[in-house]
Amino acid sequence: MKIGLVAGESSGDLLGAGLIRALKKHYPDMIFEGIAGPEMMAAGCERWEPAESLAVFGLIEPLVHLPRLLRLRKHLVKRWTESPPDVFVGIDAPDFNLGLEMRLRASGVKTVHYVSPSVWAWRAGRIKTMKAAADKVLCILPFEETIYEDEGVDAIFVGHPKADSIPTSQDVPAARMALGLTADEVVAILPGSRASEVSMLGEIFVAAARIILDARESVQFVTPVATPALRSEIEAQIASAGLLEKFVLLDGNSEQAMIAADVVLLASGTAALESALLEKPTVAAYRLGRITHAIMIGLNLLKISKFTLPNLLTESPLVPEFIQDEACPDNIADAVIELLDDPDRRQSISDRFARLRVDLALNADQRAADAVISLLK
């Protein structure tokens, strides 16, 4: 029995690895092959292409990579139609995977799309594409299942794997000691995992750190560097502001950095949900390329007023969020300082995030595996 997989970026790699391990409990001899990251390879997937090859983002920016991606997709279609998997699972990366799923499904391969694209936020028309592409959609956010059911798409909410794996209690003093943090107050700063995010947000976050220090001299900052390629730029941004002695830079280890923090400042994305699941008061910001942003606004593609994941999952928004020109040092610093000044508010936010973690912790790896197995049967 054989499963084809295509995962984009590190988050998809982790989802794929969890799915592979859960499937192997039922089918120890099952074969896994496709586009994978190191976690999927370690779980037993034969890698034809690294997951990072799909890590392109935006509306305009991916056009540079389009010829390469089209060639890659054509190659996968040929390979999997000549030697079909029993089920194909596309993990996230919808702009690449949905077209691949449509072609494989047309050839008779059962298809699963794992992680719904944000049809509730923008490009709602993709629901029709999802219906044509996937025999089953695996949702990691609770409200998505109903959206698809209303459109006649077979979808299931499996929960969020991060909620299953994240520690339910955090030893803050131990985390600070392990990271060499000695200040009374700690702010974790995560400027993003992509070079474009660090380029757009890194200097803004460092300038915000300077303002925070002017208000509270005892603060120390910790920044987990997502990949080695980003370290030199982040170091240069901090050094140009004269703040190197106030920052502790880590190679990865974002979870420990957030556990050690009183407040987390980050580029809005999957890290925002991780921070919430760790029960951390959080401030989020994001900037798109100006052309991409202009197209989104001009074509009215954005359908929601809040863009940070935890704010979509709680009754009222708990994460101050700033986008485009609002994502400036003064706004960001003020939001962080307000949280540092109000321990009761921080505790209230932490309590609500603890309940959110319970809602999302449903053993997602196994539920996703059960959905795949239902197609095998």
The reported pLDDT for the residue numbered 303 is 57
Paired tokens of 164: 């299953």
Phi, psi of 348 (to 5 degrees): -60, -45
3-class DSSP string for 22-62: HHHHHCCCCEEEEEECHHHHHHCEEEEEEHHHHCCCCCCHH
Specify whether 235 is located in the same domain as 342: yes
Residue 84 shares a structural domain with residue 213: no
Specify the pLDDT at position 169.
Answer: 85
Number of domain units in the chain: 2
Tens-place pLDDT, residues 151-182: 999 999 999 999 999 988 889 999 999 999 99
Average pLDDT of every residue of the chain: 91
247 in a structural domain: yes
Are residues 222 and 336 located together in one domain of the fold?
A: yes
Query: What is the DSSP-derived secondary structure letter of residue 125?
Result: T
pLDDT of residue 59: 46
- Judge if 338 and 202 occupy the same domain: yes
Q: Could you tell me if 368 and 341 lie in one domain?
A: no
Q: Which pair of tokens denotes residue 222? A: 């910790």
Query: Does a structural domain hold residue 288?
Result: yes
In this structure, is residue 166 part of a structural domain?
no
CATH of the domain at 202: 3.40.50.2000
On the question of pLDDT at 57 being above 50, the answer is no
Handedness of CA 274, 277, 281, 284 (dihedral sign): positive
Asked if residue 205 and residue 134 are part of one domain, the reply reads: no
Single pTM value for the model: 0.83
Predicted pLDDT at 342: 98
152 and 183 in a single domain? The answer is no
Tell which phi-psi region holds residue 47, choosing left (phi > 0), alpha (psi between -120 and 50) or beta: beta
Residue 211 lies in a domain: yes
Is the Cβ–Cβ distance between 365 and 18 less than 8 Å? Answer: yes
pLDDT tens string 238-271 = 999 999 999 999 999 999 999 999 999 999 888 9
Measured distance CA(170)–CA(101) in Å, rounded? 41
Domain that residue 149 falls in: 2-159+362-376
Q: Which residue would you say has higher pLDDT here, 1 or 51?
A: 1
End-to-end CA separation in angstroms for the chain: 12
Q: Answer yes or no: do 253 and 344 share one domain.
A: yes
How is the beta sheet containing 219-225 ordered, strand by strand? 247-251, 219-225, 185-190, 263-267, 282-286, 321-323
Q: 267 with 281, same domain?
A: yes
Whether the predicted pLDDT of 301 surpasses 90: no
Q: Helix or strand or coil: residue 116?
A: coil
For residues 340 and 210, membership in a common domain is answered with yes
Residues 176 and 278 in one domain: yes
Same domain for 207 and 265, yes or no, is: yes
Q: How many residues does the chain have?
A: 377
In a domain, 368, yes or no: yes
Q: What is the pLDDT of residue 278?
A: 97
The whole-number pLDDT of residue 54 equals 79
Q: What is the tens place of the pLDDT at every residue in 334-369?
A: 999 999 999 999 999 999 999 999 999 999 999 999
Tell me, yes or no, whether 165 lies in a domain: no
| Any domain includes 98 | yes
Query: Taking a C-beta distance cutoff of 8 angstroms, is the pair 169, 235 a contact?
Result: no
Each residue's pLDDT tens digit, 179-223: 999 999 999 999 998 888 999 999 999 999 999 999 999 999 999
In a domain, 212, yes or no: yes
